Amino acid sequence: MTLKHAGSTRLPGLCLAGLLCVFNTQSMASALYKWVDENGAVRYSDQLPPKQSPTGHQQLNPQGLVVTTKEAAKSPEEIAIEAEALRKLEKQQSEEARLKAIQERHDRVLLLTFSSEEEIEHARENRIESIESVIRLIQNSVKGTQSQLDHFTNHAQLNYTAKGKEVPGGLAQKIEHFERKIESRNAQLESKEAEKDKISEKYNQDLERFQRLKSASN
């Protein structure tokens, strides 16, 4: 026996009570099922249609209370979306665990390497001074190379270019050589300046981390 109630997701209390009486009169052991059909109508029956089994439905007890609820089977698209969401979540959790392990290793090394903030600051100053000494050497090299370049450039200008003559190949090669050398040295300077900034930032971060770790252990 199947009853249909359209336009609402539930029957009025009196109507449902009457329906339950009908079902209970026929068979006290019969289950009562409730579902929404393809037209949006609420259906009640003591037998669940086979096509409705994989879809959403509820089972009611003789008092009209929901005993069990079965959700509708998910579509392949829904399953794929959930699988992708789960994959992203697992990837995120894996990355978080990896970063946590890296941080823990760094913390152990930090505490084993330094015993005070002053030691970190001293190590930072030594590293920066070492890089700055290299920077000074490169700067001196640039000055010397620039002096040589100026010499050959002026010679070419006074003796050839100013007189409308072509600069000899050997002289032109020397000028090009020193220009490339200066360009290379300037690239080295830029690299060393970036390295100095990076090291300074690293030690600043280590100092801040060391302070937090020590504060947490006290």
Residue owning tokens 């220009």: 179
pLDDT tops 80 at residue 129: yes
Co-location of 128 and 204 in the same domain: yes
Grade residue 2 by pLDDT with cuts at 50, 70 and 90: low
How does the average pLDDT of the chain come out, rounded?
85
Could you give the maximum distance between any two Cα atoms of the chain, in Å? 124
Range 166-183 average pLDDT = 96
pLDDT tops 80 at residue 137: yes
Q: Between 51 and 200, whose confidence is greater?
A: 200
pLDDT tops 80 at residue 154: yes
pLDDT of residue 46: 81
Co-location of 60 and 132 in the same domain: no
Q: How many other C-beta atoms are found inside a 10 Å radius of the C-beta of residue 151? A: 13
Range 94-105 average pLDDT = 97
Q: Between 120 and 36, whose confidence is greater?
A: 120
| Number of domains the chain is built from | 3
Q: Between 61 and 200, whose confidence is greater?
A: 200
Range 198-205 average pLDDT = 96
pLDDT tops 50 at residue 15: no
Co-location of 137 and 205 in the same domain: yes
The two structure tokens encoding residue 201: 């930032």
**Residue that terminates a domain, selected from 15, 43, 70:** 70
- Confirm if 93 and 100 have CB atoms less than 8 A apart: no
Co-location of 90 and 184 in the same domain: no
Co-location of 65 and 142 in the same domain: no
pLDDT of residue 67: 81
Q: How far is CA 9 from CA 12, 19, 31, 32, in A?
A: 10, 15, 19, 15
Co-location of 133 and 178 in the same domain: yes
Co-location of 127 and 197 in the same domain: yes
Co-location of 121 and 202 in the same domain: yes
**Residue that terminates a domain, selected from 90, 113, 136:** 113
Co-location of 201 and 131 in the same domain: yes
Co-location of 48 and 10 in the same domain: yes
> Which residue range(s) make up the domain with 146?
115-217
Q: What is the dihedral of CA 44, 47, 48, 49, to 10 degrees?
A: -110
pLDDT tops 60 at residue 203: yes
List the beta bridge partners of residue 35: 43
- Phi/psi for 154 (5° steps) reads -65, -40
Cut 0.75: pTM above it: no
Co-location of 90 and 163 in the same domain: no
Displacement of CA 164 from its chain's centroid (Å): 63
Range 145-167 average pLDDT = 95
Co-location of 131 and 150 in the same domain: yes
**DSSP strand pairing (66-70 vs 57-60):** antiparallel
- Confirm if 35 and 52 have CB atoms less than 8 A apart: yes
Name every residue whose Cβ is closer than 8 Å to that of residue 31 and which is 6 or more positions away in sequence: 46, 59, 60
Residue 120 burial by Cβ neighbours in a 10 Å radius (0-12, 13-18, 19+) = buried
List the beta bridge partners of residue 58: 34, 69
Least confident of 52-61, 86-95, 99-108: 52-61
The half-sphere exposure of 109 on its side-chain side, counting CA atoms within 13 A, is 7
Dist CA 3 CA 20 (whole Å) = 11
Least confident of 73-77, 79-83, 121-125, 161-165: 73-77
